[in-house]
Amino acid sequence: MQEIKDLIAVSRYYGQDNRYVIAGGGNTSYKNSEKIWVKASGSALATIDVEGFAILDREKLKAVSEKEYSNDSSEREEQVKNDLAAATLTKGKRPSVETSMHNSIDYAFVVHLHPTIVNALMCAQHTEIELKKLFGEKTLYVEYTDPGYLLFKKVESKIKAYRASFNEEPKVIWLQNHGIFVAADSVDEIKEIYTDIFSKLEAAITDPLPDGDVEVSSNVVEVLPAIKMMLSTEDLKTLKVRNNALINHFSESEENQKLIAVPFTPDAIVYCKSNYIFLNSESPEAILEEAKEQNALFAEKNEYLPKIILIKNIGLVAVGDNAKQCDTILDVYEDAMKIAYLSQSFGGAHPMTQEQIDFIDNWEVENYRRSVAKGEVSGRVQNKTFVITGAAQGFGEGIARCLIEEGANIVVADLNEDIGRTTVDELNSIATNNRVVFVKTAVSKIPSLEQLMHDTVCNFGAIDCFISNAGVLRAGDLEHLSPEDFNFVTTINYNAYFYCTKVVSRIMKLQTKFASNNYFADIIQINSKSGLRGSKANFAYAGGKFGGIGLTQSFALELAPFRIKVNSICPGNYYDGPLWSNPENGLFVQYLKAGKVPGAKTVEDVKEFYLAQSPMRKGCSPEDVTKAILYLIDQTGETGQALPITGGQVMLN
Ligand SMILES: [Zn+2]
């Protein structure tokens, strides 16, 4: 059907542009005389297709307009929801609560959005005066009304009054502290109307938004890990920082902070709640003192934890239940900042009243109960943040992939930027509420590792587990291996493990200081079976790996009082990986050609020879190593250990 194609196209057009749709706000519809197609809850305009719309019977939908409902608001919303469900032809798809409003507008297409620039006017002191000045006397303006049934009835009566006075159907409906509805019989006309509205509003802005990047202060690593743990006494939270010229405008002055202290729209409350923390101290110690006090005050006043903390010189911090939620919180609150700033052109900002806020808060409590009742699937390291060095490819990539499925957030720290970024995109495509980021890292350079810590803290707030995995191999016997090669292998496999532990332990100590006593952080070195047993003509590698176990034991002794466990995992050979199994130049092929295995005639013979060296007749995979990682994190009774995963090839004394 062409109309549905048009509906999908116009939905995506506005949905993909964050000037018009933030965090899934807004919805669209098409109707004929019998049915209405309206965006179903849970689908996003940006990517919507036919399946994203609920279809409702318009005859049955009349009930919502005509029926008398309960005076108790939560009982009433429940009744309305049931009637909406009864009118829904596509069972299992929940139509938006705004469906009745779409149905009451007598045009084929309706596009409802919460655009920033529209809300700059809708959340202003002089909304009505400015609206008439810009768009004439015939504007249909609806004063703020609690969302749901009451807003629908208000809009419905306003439409009737409009028809009576102007003898025509309104195409634009302006909603105070909420957004806008635009309706027409074609999507082209809807686009024309929106274009006209946006250009008039833009021309009316006298003071454009501050633009440009502002760096997050380097002391973020001395602040955020502590705040994250203060707020993670029940569930592990994820924190994310954003900074720019607009955020800096509000974070640098207490005067400006007042302008964003109270929410402007129901959306803002849904995602960011209605109370925020502003920290204005300068030094890390003073910021943490202030954070402790403010958190205590916040806990006294509210039944929830803060979602938003604005810190001078650091930026806007989202406190999310997971990494995905952090992005939404940042987008929605930054939008509120834009509204506060731009509304100066229309007489200044007009926040919601306490009564209006309380209604949304209560509504949210109901929703929350429902979502909790549903129960969430959770991985074994849900929301924990891992840094994995050398994770762009190979074994490290395999470990990262397995940990994603267990709910982890991951920082891929690698020197290889091209492959690293491709890997991160791929891993993000299998992530759910967790996220993966790439940070270009040279593990042998302290400044590069400090940048890695900074970027990790900015993205996730802290580091729960550091996996030192990056390693190199240059084999050679005493006759041939050069001192340069020996130094290279030793620097990456041995020295760098010290450098990494030096920078990450500082952050972990800060975390455990502010965390509850049952919280432990982990440092895990991916060692090798060559760290437990010598390796012929491969001494540079084996020596570094033996040394690594000495470091693990010594770090473990030093860090145990800080509840930081340090362990090594010693995997056997990854026979199924490309190093061994590549059909062109894998080690199996090379060893066959070199006659290294006496009597071997095929690659299978060579493989058989190696498998026979392990009692369990198997190599070691990233899955095996991930299980060892999960075990080491889970347990709290061991540190300083070297755990072999070799199929019994190497056994401990
Ligand atoms: Zn809306």
DSSP 124: B
Question: Tell me: the pLDDT tens digits for 326-350?
Answer: 999 999 999 999 999 999 999 999 9
* Maximum separation of any 2 CA atoms in the chain, in Å: 100
Q: Which CATH class is domain 218-374?
A: alpha beta
| CA of residue 183 to ligand 1 center, whole Å | 14
Give the DSSP H/E element, type plus range, for residue 365. helix 354-374
Residues 6+ apart with CB under 8 A from 248: 210, 214, 315
Q: Supply the angle between the helices 496-514 and 539-559 in degrees, to the nearest 10.
A: 20
| CA of residue 177 to ligand 1 center, whole Å | 10
Residues 6+ apart with CB under 8 A from 48: 8, 11, 12, 15, 39
Q: Could you give the 3-state DSSP secondary structure of residue 438?
A: strand
Query: How many C-beta atoms lie closer than 10 Å to residue 637's C-beta?
Result: 5
Strands (DSSP E) found in 280-435 = 308-311, 315-320, 385-389, 409-414
18: confidence class by pLDDT, cuts 50, 70, 90: confident
| CA of residue 332 to ligand 1 center, whole Å | 14
Query: How many C-beta atoms lie closer than 10 Å to residue 481's C-beta?
Result: 17
| CA of residue 166 to ligand 1 center, whole Å | 25
**Rounded to an integer, what distance in angstroms lies between the CA atom of residue 614 and that of residue 14?**
59
Average pLDDT (58-65) is 90
For residues 396 and 389, the answer to whether their CB atoms sit within 8 Å is: yes
The pLDDT, as a whole number, for residue 171 is 97
| CA of residue 180 to ligand 1 center, whole Å | 8
The pLDDT, as a whole number, for residue 148 is 86
375: confidence class by pLDDT, cuts 50, 70, 90: very low
| CA of residue 44 to ligand 1 center, whole Å | 14
Average pLDDT (267-271) is 92
Q: How many CA atoms lie within 13 A of 354 on its CB side?
A: 0
Q: Could you give the 3-state DSSP secondary structure of residue 266?
A: helix
| CA of residue 97 to ligand 1 center, whole Å | 9
577: confidence class by pLDDT, cuts 50, 70, 90: confident
Tell me the three-class secondary structure of 595-647, residue by residue: CCCCCCCCHHHHHHHHHCCCCCCCCCCHHHHHHHHHHHHHCCCCCCCEEEECC
| CA of residue 532 to ligand 1 center, whole Å | 63
The pLDDT, as a whole number, for residue 128 is 94
Burial of 271 (0-12, 13-18, 19+ CB in 10 A): buried
Q: Which residue has the higher pLDDT, 485 or 94?
A: 485
The pLDDT, as a whole number, for residue 585 is 86
Average pLDDT (238-265) is 97
| CA of residue 112 to ligand 1 center, whole Å | 7
Average pLDDT over all residues of the chain: 94
From 25, 77, 69, select the one nearest 365 (Cα to Cα): 77
Please identify which residue in the block is written with the tokens 């894998």.
586
| CA of residue 19 to ligand 1 center, whole Å | 15
Predicted confidence (pLDDT) at residue 365 exceeds the cutoff of 70? no
Residues 6+ apart with CB under 8 A from 196: none
| CA of residue 428 to ligand 1 center, whole Å | 29
| CA of residue 394 to ligand 1 center, whole Å | 47
pTM: 0.94
| CA of residue 25 to ligand 1 center, whole Å | 6
For residues 326 and 320, the answer to whether their CB atoms sit within 8 Å is: yes
Predicted confidence (pLDDT) at residue 374 exceeds the cutoff of 80? no
| CA of residue 190 to ligand 1 center, whole Å | 17
Question: Tell me: the pLDDT tens digits for 396-426?
Answer: 999 999 999 999 999 999 999 999 999 999 9
Question: Tell me: the pLDDT tens digits for 92-116?
Answer: 888 888 899 999 999 999 999 999 9
Residues 6+ apart with CB under 8 A from 387: 410, 411, 413, 452, 456, 463, 465, 466, 467, 504
* Domain 385-572+620-645 annotated CATH 3.40.50.720: yes
Q: Note whether 2-204 and 385-572+620-645 share their fold.
A: no
DSSP 19: T
Give the length of the chain. Answer: 653
**Rounded to an integer, what distance in angstroms lies between the CA atom of residue 262 and that of residue 342?**
16
Quickly name the fold that domain 2-204 has.
L-fuculose-1-phosphate Aldolase (3.40.225)
| CA of residue 94 to ligand 1 center, whole Å | 16
For residues 41 and 72, the answer to whether their CB atoms sit within 8 Å is: no
Question: Tell me: the pLDDT tens digits for 142-200?
Answer: 999 998 889 999 999 999 999 999 999 999 999 999 999 999 999 999 999 999 999 99
Question: Tell me: the pLDDT tens digits for 585-603?
Answer: 888 998 999 888 999 999 9
* All structural domains of the chain with their residue ranges: 2-204, 218-374, 385-572+620-645, 574-613
**Rounded to an integer, what distance in angstroms lies between the CA atom of residue 101 and that of residue 158?**
11
The pLDDT, as a whole number, for residue 371 is 60
Predicted confidence (pLDDT) at residue 458 exceeds the cutoff of 80? yes
| CA of residue 178 to ligand 1 center, whole Å | 6
| CA of residue 152 to ligand 1 center, whole Å | 11
For residues 46 and 73, the answer to whether their CB atoms sit within 8 Å is: no
**Rounded to an integer, what distance in angstroms lies between the CA atom of residue 309 and that of residue 299?**
14
| CA of residue 181 to ligand 1 center, whole Å | 9
Q: With the C-alpha atoms ordered 334, 450, 633, 530, is the resulting torsion angle positive or negative?
A: positive
Average pLDDT (285-306) is 96
| CA of residue 247 to ligand 1 center, whole Å | 25
Q: Look at strands 409-414 and 385-389 and give their pairing.
A: parallel
| CA of residue 113 to ligand 1 center, whole Å | 7
